[in-house]
Amino acid sequence: MQFGSILGAVLAATVLGACDGPPSASDLQEWTPADHDHSDEKERVTSGVQAAPAGSGGKEEGNRVLVETTWRSQCATCHGFIGHGDGPNGPMVKATDLTKADWQNNRTDMEIAQSIINGKGRMPKFDLPPSVVAGLVMRIRASKGR
């Protein structure tokens, strides 16, 4: 027991002795907005692209994440995760099954994008950046036949 107490005291003394104390006020610099001027971040926000996680594919990866987040929060409530029209609100609003080949074959990418931007039937319009609208169109096209 005594060895444990001695070891604990030595460890505590080492840890406490390593601290010099807080920095003095004269060592601190005043914060200015320039210290945190992230113009690249402002550009991403304006263009509608989220910052990508570290080590990922950069701007494209950030846009993919934003498209998926938008799909899950805005589209999946009616169209479902895949696009079958089976989201929680899908039956109530008679959401279209976006995966059907005949539906996709009868619409251009521009028509799908315009439906997202302007709304259609019971679907509201969405004010989204062009890169997100294009990503949603690509996501819808990728769901064909699923």
- Domain with 127, as residue range(s), is 48-146
pLDDT band at 63 (very low <50, low <70, confident <90, very high): confident
Q: Which residues of 90-121 are buried (b: 16+ CB within 10 A; e: fewer)?
A: beeeebbbbbbeebbeebeeeebbebbeeeee
Q: Is residue 146 part of a domain?
A: yes
Q: Is residue 131 part of a domain?
A: yes
Q: Is residue 42 part of a domain?
A: no
CATH number, domain of 101, equals: 1.10.760.10
- Check residue 49 and give its pLDDT: 47
Confirm whether pTM is higher than 0.85.
Answer: no
Q: Is residue 39 part of a domain?
A: no
Collapsing DSSP to helix, strand or coil, 106 comes out as coil
Q: Say whether pLDDT at 98 is over 70.
A: yes
- Check residue 51 and give its pLDDT: 47
Q: Say whether pLDDT at 20 is over 80.
A: no
Q: From the CB of residue 65, how many other CB atoms can be counted at a distance below 10 Å?
A: 17
Q: Is residue 79 part of a domain?
A: yes
Mean pLDDT across the stretch 122-136? 94
Q: Is residue 120 part of a domain?
A: yes
- Check residue 68 and give its pLDDT: 94
Q: Is residue 38 part of a domain?
A: no
Q: Say whether pLDDT at 4 is over 90.
A: no
Which pLDDT tens digit goes with each residue over 37-54?
A: 555 555 555 444 444 444
Number of separate domains in the chain: 1
Q: Is residue 104 part of a domain?
A: yes
Give CA–CA dist 58/46, Å, rounded: 16
Give CA–CA dist 51/58, Å, rounded: 8
